[in-house]
Amino acid sequence: MDYTRFFNRDCKHLPQPRARRAIPRRAAAAGAGLAVAAAALAALLAPPSGEASREPPPAVVEHPLALPARADAGSGMPAPAGGDPVREEAAGGAVAGPGAPGTAAAPRWRTLTVRRGDSLARLLAREGVGPRTVHALVTSGREARRLRRLRPGERILLARDGDGAVAALRYPLGPERTLEVRRAGDGYRARILQHPLEHRQAHAAGVIEDSLFTAAQRAGLSDRLTMALAGIFGWDIDFALDLRPGDRFRVIYEVLYRDGERVGEGEILAAEFVNRGRVYRAVRYTDPEGRTGYYTPEGRSVRRAFLRTPVAFTRISSRFRLRRRHPVLNRIRAHRGVDYAAPRGTPVKATGDGKVIFRGRKGGYGKVVMIRHGARYVTVYAHLSRFARGLRAGRRVRQGQVIGYVGATGLATGPHLHYEFRVDGVHRNPLTVRLPAARPVPARYREDFRRRTAPLVAALDTLRRVQIARRD
């Protein structure tokens, strides 16, 4: 069995130094359904089959777009043509710009692709747009601030009028939203265009032969949804160690359409994973207060109140032991935590929601953060090189929030994180302690939960029958 492929793929989703982060950040953005990201991921992956099948984005990076034709149709990008279902405000008639199909003086849209190291100024300089115009565009409203942080691969649509001045600029923020900056009087005005989307359901099913990723690819599941699937069941299944050939999964997820055209993926709505004969199921539910989570069909959270490890993908260098020779003190001493060897600067996450009760230096711990979680639990993170910005005693932290960075302060021979898990004041082994489940669906919403998730559970049942029938 070869899980290295899962790991290799998986690892690129870890926080990385800036330069290497381009893809995962875009992958994360695809959570918001960013079409650019979907296209980039589609290009990264082997061509998926069936529902998820998509043509990779065209190799041509810049091309003029004629109005009002839907020249961009099929690329998954919000088309700038007049016929698109963007809810146009009354433009006040001031600008006969884009969105005025049929106008003789209608400007041509040009699609510019952001290159590595591009700022808006640099990108537009290549088009001969001067810094004063760029400044006017970027300062045209609160929303226009998004233009200060362009990422490689993103696209900007630019419309010029007859004398070459910039009439409008569009920056697709995702399948549902586009930032538009349009000339208004002497300056520019920014606003967000909303594109109504249709949410449809799609499904995928697969059997593990060698790794989750290859099985998911065969099933036509995107990289992002595969990670999401692993995330949903990662509390119960260690995807690096527990997978076996013959394990199966079924996933029901949302696909977003605009004008009958697929523009992105939404979230996983329901999923089932059969690991070594054990069936795990999860459904997505948003309660009337807007809290969203994955729950078992019975309404228990699939999450634990604590992450098992506060640092991602690292090596355990010292386990919880009541007798151990201390590497610095060279004395027998209990080791009441777990040491994770990790490069200096690796982010350290709070393993559960809680309140910081200590942040500072403390003897052999060096720079240490202590977090209280409810009445019974305290977690400790020691030898940090530095703390997360703004972290102070009394602050609330969320599970997974970065609280500091791996270092070697205090009594440490090299960079590592020393992590402790205390229950009722007693040190417990973080690797084996039974982690309490996160909060279930509140009793008052149980009925709502059942009513809204029953169709998803039924759909999982149907998928299972179909998958079994195919196999037989």
- Residues binding Zn ion (CB under 5 A): 337, 339, 418
Smallest distance from Zn ion to CB 326, Å = 9
Name the residue nearer to Zn ion (CB basis): 10 or 339.
339
Residue among 26, 389, 418, 463 at smallest CA distance from 219? 463
Name the residue nearer to Zn ion (CB basis): 297 or 327.
327
Q: What letter would DSSP give residue 288?
A: T
Name the residue nearer to Zn ion (CB basis): 82 or 337.
337
Question: At CA 348, angle to CA 344 and CA 350, rounded to 5?
Answer: 165
Residue among 35, 157, 174, 150 at smallest CA distance from 97? 157
Give the whole-angstrom CA distance, residue 67 versus residue 83.
Answer: 9
Smallest distance from Zn ion to CB 422, Å = 14
Neighbouring CB atoms inside 10 A of 233's CB total 22
Residue pair 253/219 in contact (Cβ under 8 Å)? The answer is no
Name the residue nearer to Zn ion (CB basis): 223 or 339.
339
Residue of minimal CB distance from Zn ion?
A: 418
Smallest distance from Zn ion to CB 339, Å = 4
Residue pair 162/215 in contact (Cβ under 8 Å)? The answer is no
Name the residue nearer to Zn ion (CB basis): 87 or 331.
331
Name the residue nearer to Zn ion (CB basis): 278 or 325.
325
Smallest distance from Zn ion to CB 317, Å = 8
Residue pair 154/173 in contact (Cβ under 8 Å)? The answer is no
Concatenated DSSP letters of 203-265: EEEEE-SS-HHHHHHHTT--HHHHHHHHHHHTTT--TTTT--TT-EEEEEEEEEEETTEEEEE
Amino acid letter, 51: E
Name the residue nearer to Zn ion (CB basis): 349 or 418.
418
Smallest distance from Zn ion to CB 343, Å = 17
Give the whole-angstrom CA distance, residue 291 versus residue 286.
Answer: 5
Name the residue nearer to Zn ion (CB basis): 22 or 411.
411
Smallest distance from Zn ion to CB 374, Å = 24
Give Cα separations from 231 to 29, 61, 303 (angstroms): 16, 34, 10
Amino acid letter, 70: R
Helix axes 22-29, 223-233, angle to 10 degrees: 80
Smallest distance from Zn ion to CB 260, Å = 58
Smallest distance from Zn ion to CB 341, Å = 11
Give the whole-angstrom CA distance, residue 30 versus residue 24.
Answer: 10
Name the residue nearer to Zn ion (CB basis): 66 or 332.
332
Name the residue nearer to Zn ion (CB basis): 156 or 311.
311
Residue pair 365/379 in contact (Cβ under 8 Å)? The answer is no
Tell me whether residue 184 is exposed, middle or buried, using C-beta atoms within 10 angstroms of its C-beta: 0 to 12, 13 to 18, 19 or more. middle
Smallest distance from Zn ion to CB 463, Å = 46
Give the whole-angstrom CA distance, residue 74 versus residue 66.
Answer: 15
In the structure encoding, which two tokens stand for residue 59, read together? 């190799």
Smallest distance from Zn ion to CB 381, Å = 11
Q: Which residue has the tokens 């290497």?
A: 20
Residue pair 304/435 in contact (Cβ under 8 Å)? The answer is yes
Helix axes 223-233, 35-44, angle to 10 degrees: 90
Name the residue nearer to Zn ion (CB basis): 78 or 337.
337
Residue among 361, 457, 350 at smallest CA distance from 400? 350
> What residues form DSSP beta bridges with 188?
183
Smallest distance from Zn ion to CB 415, Å = 12
